[in-house]
Amino acid sequence: MNHLSRFLLTFCSSCSLAALALFSGAAAGAEADVTAALAHPERPAEDAANDERRRPDEVLAFAGLETGMAVLELEAAGGYYTEILSRAVGPDGSVIMQHPPGLMGFVGDGMEVRTADDRLANVRISVTNFDELDAEDNSIDMVTWILGPHELGFAPEGNSLGDIAGSFREIARVLKPGGVFLANDHIAPDGSGWEAGDSLHRIEESLVTQMAEEAGLSVVGSSDMFRNPDDPLTEGVFSPSIRGQTSQFTVLYRK
């Protein structure tokens, strides 16, 4: 897909989200200035080096990010998206930087470095499993889970990261009425089940949608911005042959 096609897809999706917000009675804030967040002088250069591949401007435009939003970032890891979200929602917004204890060994001190000396003043760290989210009922405008839902099929050293159905119920619980859940992940082969989260670190889009809908969320739209027809889907995402080039789904759900 060329740049113009991606722009049109994102633009149309954003228009649809705005219309849905009007009809739902949700108060619309100003569109978040993600471009300014990406260009912030304190942003690490190593983050910027990944922007072309990760396309955060397109992702967050598709999600409909606005200033002043309360965002719960699931599996924030080292904080690539945390940094962007924090500055894009502005001082009137907030970000919960969540990560499960069973995966903390993969992020080192990245979370602490991001938030040291109150450099991201509207961010707080939360270390919980996915089925025990640290947020009040109906308190969050947007939940993001980038490259992560497959983790519900993964149990590092035999330790669960959260019950599958329970995790989606928690996402629905913390979202405000009209709030949105952005899910993005590596695509698994049809019929591979949640077990692919362990063997390939991938998941089928249909399984995520099934659980989201069972929890009371509805599909708003989807984007093909990360689809790669050359990905055989059968290689683990860390395989040198496909790492950084996996085919991914990106879906937005609404409470």
Which structural domain range is residue 11 located in?
Answer: 3-254
Indicate the pLDDT class of residue 111, thresholds 50, 70 and 90: confident
What is the average pLDDT across 156-174? 96
Distances (CA, A) of 32 to 18, 195, 216: 13, 37, 27
Q: Which residues of 109-142 are buried (b: 16+ CB within 10 A; e: fewer)?
A: ebbeebbeeeebebbebbebbbbebebeeeebbb
Per-residue pLDDT, 25: 34
pLDDT in tens, 17-27: 443 443 333 44
Average pLDDT, the chain: 90
CATH code of the domain in which 60 resides = 3.40.50.150
All residues at 6 or more sequence positions from 165 whose CB lies less than 8 Å from its CB, including other chains: 211, 214, 215
What is the average pLDDT across 203-232? 98
Domain count of the fold of the chain: 1
